[in-house]
Every structure is written in C-alpha cells, then in structure tokens.
A and B are shown apart, each in its own frame.
Chain A
Amino acid sequence: MSPIKKIWKFISSMQFAIILLVLLAIVCSIASFVTQGQTYAWYAQAYSERTAAVIVALHLDDAFHSWWFIVITGFLCVNLLLCNILKFPQNLRRMKNAGDAEKHLSVNGDVQAEDIREPEKLFAKLHFGKITKGSGEEYLFAAKNSAGYWGAWVCHLGILLVILGFGLGQMTKQTYTAYGVPGQSRAIGDTGYIITIDDFTIGHRADDTVEQYTSAITVRDAASGRSEQAEISVNNPASVFGLRFYQNSTGWAAKVHVDKDGEPLQDEIVCAGDYLRVKGKEDLVIYLNAFYPDYVLQEGVGPQTASSEIKNPAYLYSVYYMDRMLGMNALLEKEELKIDEYTVTFSEPQSFTLIQIKKDHFTWLALVGGLVTMLGLILAFYMQPAQMWALKQENGLWTIHGRSRKGGAIFREQFLEEATNGKE
C-alpha cells in the first residue's frame, strides 16, 4: 500500500477517531481548569510566572480558539466525513441484504431453534411484523429495524452539522452590548440601528428577591427611519430587524452634575463602569467605578453596602486627566468634588439595563445538527436490525434462525426463551 493510501486509510479509520476523541477529552478537561481569556499578568498573579508562561505559550488562555484545538476538531470533521462517505454504500448494501430472504435461507443464523410448531407466533413474539412466505410456504422470512443500520451514520452527520454551525457562527456572528437608563439611546455598533431604552423594571417578590428584569426597547433603522418596539426579559429575548436582543444584566447608574465656576455646565446619566468627559476640557474624565446604596466603610475590607436599599448612597469615582489617574474616592450624596474650577456632584441613583445584541446566522444549523444527532442515537440504540427466517423440516415442524448484529446476547436469549415457550 502506498504511503498516501496508508495515511488516507488511517485518517478515515475508527482508530483515528478514538485518538481524536481522547485528545479532545483531555484538552477540554485541562482547559476547564484554566480561567479563559485573562492576561499574562493575571495568570502570573493567580499561579506563578512559570505557569503563566506555559499557559500563554500553549494558548491555554484561549484554548477553545487555539490553533491546536481547531486542528483537532478539523481532523475530527474530516474523519467523520470520510467515515460517512465510506459507510454510505456499505449501509445501503446492508439494508438491501437485510431484507433479502435469499441471502439468509442458505446460511445458519446466530441462534437457532428446531421443531417449532407455529413459527408465525414466534415471529410475532419477537416483534417481526411483515413476514415473507416462500411460494410453496417452505420458508418464512422477516427483517425488522433495518433503519438502525443508519444510526451511527446519521449521528455522525448530526455532529458534523453541529460543528459546522458552531464554527460558522463563531466566524461570522456579531455581538454588541447596549446599556442605559430609560430615555437613553445608543447606536448598535456599525449595524445602522439605534436602540432606545423606553423602560426598565425590576420585579421583586415579597421577600425582596428579584423575580425578573424587563426592558422595553425601540429599535430604529437610522437609514429608513423605520422603528419597531419590543419587550425583553431574562429567558425571553426578542428579534427585531434580524438582530436578537437579550436581557443580560443590570447595574447602578447616577446623574453626574458638573458646574464650572459655579455655573451649571453638564448633566449626564453615567452607568457604573462608564465615564463622563467634561465639556470643554475633554482630557478631564470622571469615571464612576461603583455605587453603594447603603454605604459602609469597613476597615480592612473597603467600601461595602449594608443592604440593597438606598439608605446611605455613595459613589466610588476616579478622576483622570490626560489618561493619568489623579485620584479615587467615595462621595456621599450632596458632597462635592472640587477639581480646579469644576465642581462635581452625584445624584439620582437608578438601575440601568444591560442588553446583549447578537446576529448569528448559523444557530439554526447547530440546532438541526443537535436534533439529527439525537435521531441518529435513537436509530443506533433502539432500532436494532434483526432478521428471522424459518425453514420447514421434513416432519412438518420448523427450524427457525435469528440474527441480530447489535442485539447480541440479549436477542439470542429472548429468541431462545420464546422458542422454548413456542415448543411447549
């Protein structure tokens, strides 16, 4: 055999599939122990410099997008595809042969029983429905569950579709986030759409636990001016203009008021984690780090909130000038922050909504793949192909043969049990 043929044979072999599956299981389990998507400094702090170097060198920081993970998955796809191509004619032949009485009558089955008086009853007991009879009734033949030959094939096809759908989705999907308080509008990336948050409510139960987050939104096509409204909540996304909107999370926002020389300059709602550039002095930035509704300062711990109720509101802020941090502190309501001629105050704490927006054209393909995989498993596990044939003996009784490649010992046992009952 030529080397190319040898390689081809190996790549399409079950042995290669097992190696790839074991490899995938190993790398997935290792990767699950490494927090994904962090920086070298983060790993160095969490583990050690040496471990961090190994993690980054082996791409374990982003294992599921690394070249080696893609290569293993790629080989698995090739192996599955080749397996299915090679198995297709084989399965067709098997299916054809399974229903062909002539192919069975001249050979013995995997299990046999002699001197059976009423063979049809045994066929029925073992769930063989359609029985073919010989012209002179010298034989009976039945096959069942021949679709089961396609189980593994359909399952492989399903897995291929899942990987294809997921891979294409990863390559082409677009994700955006939009956050804000009612009344605020934001452009959705470069899609040409604008989202306006019309309302945001947090439903509480009697015990003050959160039951649901709900946002009412309007999405407007900037080019045509067309707009559509939708309501989203956790577990209830909405599709608008081909984009899918998900209620992701929530946080605190506050109104930041800036005076210049005692005169009002600027009023803006800023969400925690976001910042405000001071009008006319854009290098001066007020960053809202966090909001504490019931502020307490615990020694050794830092700023905390004693409850989720707004009893003693405080705002943790940082001030930057020309990208350099000037300071960081917590400011209580009505307290003022003075920076040269500017005075900054925080007020009106309120919840903001965080909405995730996604466009993935291939989710359906992965879903179809999943369903096809399920179908394949059902065919493989619960449609076990089997054949039974009965030949008339000289004494008028019947010899019955049975064969089930997948049923194995259990089929044989059932066959013999029913055959014994048939004799009695």
Chain B
Amino acid sequence: MGTEGMLRAENTLFTAAMIVYFAAMILYFVFISAKRDKLAKAAFAVQAAGFILHTAALVCRGIGAGRLPLTNQYEFATSFAWGLCLVSLIFVWKYKFQVLGAFSVPVVFLIIGYAAMQSKEVKELMPALRSGWLGFHVSTAIIAYGAFGVSFVLSIIFLMRDKMKDQSFMGRHVPDKEKLDMISYRSVALGLLFLTFTILTGAIWAERAWGSYWSWDPKETWSLVTWIIYAVYLHLRLRKGWKGRSAAIFAVIGFICVMFTYVGVNTLLPGMHSYG
C-alpha cells in the first residue's frame, strides 16, 4: 500500500476508533445509569477495541507520513487521546476499577473530537523538527498528559465520592477515598516522571537546535508551571489536613494547566513551539 493508501486507511481507522469510543461511552453510561454490572466488562472490551483501532490509525499515519505522527496539532491531539486511553485501560485493569473507564472515555472522546477538527494534512518537517529527540520528547509528553488526564478523572471521582453511599451501586464500584487518593497519586507519579523526562529531553533537543536549553518560551514556561502544580500536589499529600480534598483540587488545577499548555499556549501565546 502506498502513502496515499496508508493515509486513507488512517482516516478510516481514525473514524472507526471514534465511533467505537462513542459506543464504549454509551455502554459505560448504561452500566452506571441502569446499574447493570455485566455491562462494565463489555464497555471495557469496547474501549480496548477502540484503542486497538486508534493504535492502527496512528501506525498507518506514521507509515503514510514517513515519520512519527507527533508533529502538529492533529497528530498530537490524536496521540494525546491515545495516551489517555492507554493509561486509563492500564489503571482500570490494574485496579479493577471500571467506573474510571466511564469517566475517562468521555475525555478521550472529547480530545479525539478536537483532533478530528484539526487539519490532517501531512506536511514535511521543518529542519528544527528533524531530530531523533522528537520521538522521545513528544511520546513521553503523551504518556505524561495521559496519566495527568487519568489523575484528573480520579480527582473528580474523589471529590464526588462523599455523595456516594457505600451500599449504593456507585459506592460498590468506586474504591474508598483512601484508595482513590492512592490511585490518583500513582497516576500523578507516572505523569510527573514522564513530564520530567519530556522537559529534560526537550531541553537537550533545544540546546542542539536553538543553542539554548531553556529560553522561557511560553510552552517551556507552562510545562514548568504544570510541573510545579503537581509538585505542590505531592507536597500537599504529605501535610496533615491537606491530604485528600485539597490535593485532589490541585490535581484538577494541574490538568487545567496541562490543557492550557497544550491548547492555550499554542493558540494564545505564540513562541518557538508554535508548530506544536
């Protein structure tokens, strides 16, 4: 299959992934609203199927474009949704926590929907982007953003947990606050580790491309702001009286910073990352 064929296949697979994510979202919704336990596994399976289609779409895009699909708004948005779905699947599977899928798939759907609105045109890379560091820098950012997305969802669930009675349907499917806090901490930990790696690889790359590893470019500055917010979250968890609700609020603020770093900076604050 040639380049054109690959990009056509990508288009089909991308649309299919969106439809399947939508189906997963509906199944999760029915699982919660109709209180049908059996649907949880089906919804998870459909989410996983959507993820497989999404992965295949990214692979086709990569082959069709002849490079990693990580260089423009469309490619990063679809990869961001992919990363969020991946981390969500891992956390649902690891902690047997299907409700997390019910809350995270709509976020995945929103992001992939945003991707669908961007230009899918494959453009040749400008010289600064032709670097081996691109793959490390952006792929680690995708995992970081995905993990922060999951921590955002977990924090929202945490903030709603008091309203769920232990004997209720939701109460039975959502872990207690202590465990929720712990799972959220682990997703923030994963995100922060990968964000640090993103900043580090970005700095190394910037040094080679621009001659300066840190230039206070808006994207760099907002990555640092995001890093600081999550550092505050980690410190708050260690302080008595601040653990739990306050930390969860900071995890929500952290994800707002992530979204601003991704969408807001590119649209409102042009800098050296304006192509991203």
Contacts and interface: CB of A to CB of B under 8 A. Distances in A.
Contact of A36 (B124, B216, B224, B225): B216
Contacts of B205: 235
A33 B192 CA distance: 24
Interface residues of A, number: 50
Interface string A194-207: 00000000000101
Contact of A363 (B126, B207, B209): B207
Contact of A235 (B208, B213, B268): B208
Interface string A21-52: 11011001101110010000000000000000
A244 B229 contact: no
A356 to B, nearest CB: 4
A166 interface: yes
Interface string A379-418: 0111000000000000000000000000011100100000
Contact of B124 (A207, A356, A370): A207
B207 A248 contact: no
B193 A235 contact: no
A32 B207 CA distance: 21
Question: Binding site of B, secondary structure by majority: helix, strand, loop or mixed?
Answer: helix
B228 to A, nearest CB: 4
Given A29-B222, A366-B213, A235 B130 contact: yes
A7 B86 CA distance: 47
Contacts of A14: 235, 238-239
Contacts, number: 126
Interface stretch (B5-13, B29-37, B103-111, B178-186): B178-186
A182 interface: no
Interface in B258-276: 265, 268-269
Contact of B214 (A166, A209, A236): A166
B126 A210 contact: yes
A348 to B, nearest CB: 25
A415 to B, nearest CB: 13
Nearest to A173: B212
B213 A213 contact: no
B231 interface: yes
Interface stretch (B54-62, B157-165, B196-204): B196-204
Closest 4 CB pairs between A and B?
A234-B127, A381-B189, A246-B211, A409-B179
Interface of A: 14-15, 17-18, 21-22, 24-25, 28-29, 31-33, 36, 64, 166, 175, 205, 207, 209-213, 233-237, 244, 246, 248, 356, 358, 363, 366-367, 370-371, 373-374, 377-378, 380-382, 408-410, 413
12 contacts: A14-B235, A21-B228, A25-B229, A29-B221, A234-B209, A235-B131, A235-B208, A236-B208, A246-B209, A381-B192, A382-B189, A410-B183
